Structure 1
């Protein structure tokens, strides 16, 4: 695990490229964070709360198994050894699309919101994409109706399309899937 920041007022960031680097305590905290984010209404991959360890652990384990130095990176943020948030960057190994990466599962534990965790994770992810993976652009899909477009726009992302009503959270609650691009890394 490579430590990237040390100022106590900022989250400590770490990059993980292999499942062997994930200590049991970190795995536990990743799963707990995902449960807390989802159950507090966050758009983090499980659209129908409540969820528990039985739902989240197998998905988290598969995500961790797919870590690879050239194809999938996990970036974590923490304060004093406690996980505050995390995000995944993936790259397709196909030459046709290997110049861009996709951002997945950006989340901040509810107890650490409004402390710059998500912004720090996204800035670090951008540096990793540019400097280490030599990517030219990043893509992501965000749930509409959550204000996420404004968050990402503040970090230099731009909306490039929408799939109207693509996400049905309840019979009377359909949301757009917002497609976003960061093409200046």
Structure 2
């Protein structure tokens, strides 16, 4: 990604920071990504705005600077991608967080937005959330383990056939970790 095309990032750590316009953009991005076959939490397209809004609203309601935040990537003022990073407050595991719903809007694919999000969440997790590790689960069979692997993530396990997308289409759930 050339610098002039590099996304601008914004964090949302409190539900009051989520304007109705931004909420709509986030949900529309999620609908578009899911309906294009993206592994972003809705495995059975098509999905509609209201279905995604219900889940997005739960995530928004759970925002908290210590436990859950959105990282949003904008290109020329347009939401190009986003993710959610969360940590558990249990002191035994509070040193690591989990990355959820990583997605790049289809209009911005191939422009490095996803990689930029993952680089930025690494810094955010270490510097702002005080985390030592990040974890994520990826759907097998779509090349995600290669994408994350190129960014320094290591596969730490698999749940063979854990995800059933259709009869006869079982995929592995790939567990990955990044040390910060």
The TM-score with structure 1 as length reference comes to 0.94
Alignment correspondent of 2:114: 118
SS at match of 2:5: coil
Gaps of 5+ in 2: none
Does 2:111 correspond to 1:92? no
How far is 1:96 from its partner? 1.0
Displaced runs of 4+ in structure 1, greater than 4 A?
Answer: none
1:40 aligns with 2:5: no
Matches within 5 A, 1:14-163: 14-163=10-159
The answer to whether the 8 A contact 1:8-1:79 is kept is no
CA shift for structure 1 position 133: 1.1
Per-residue CA distance 1:32-62 (angstroms, 9 max, x = gap)? 0000000000000001000001210010011
| CA distance in 2: counterparts of 1:157 and 1:18, whole angstroms | 28
For 1:145 and 1:80, locate their aligned partners in 2 and report how far apart those are by CA, in whole Å.
Answer: 32
Worse-matched range after superposition: 9-18 or 163-172? 9-18
**Among candidates 154, 178, 181, match of residue 177 of structure 2:** 181
For structure 1, which runs of at least 5 residues remain unmatched after alignment?
Answer: 1-6
Aligned CA RMSD, in angstroms, stands at 0.8
Q: 1:54-86, CA deviations, whole angstroms, 9 ceiling, x for partnerless residues?
A: 210010011111111000010001112211000
Instruction: Give the number of aligned pairs.
Output: 178
Q: Report the Cα offset of residue 8 of structure 1.
A: 3.8
Provide the secondary structure at the position in 2 that maps to 1:20: helix
Question: Is the CA contact 1:84–1:117 (under 8 Å) kept in the aligned structure 2?
Answer: yes
CA distance in 2, matches of 1:16, 1:34: 16
Within 1, Cα distance between the matches of 2:4 and 2:11?
18
TM-score if structure 2 supplies the norm length?
0.97
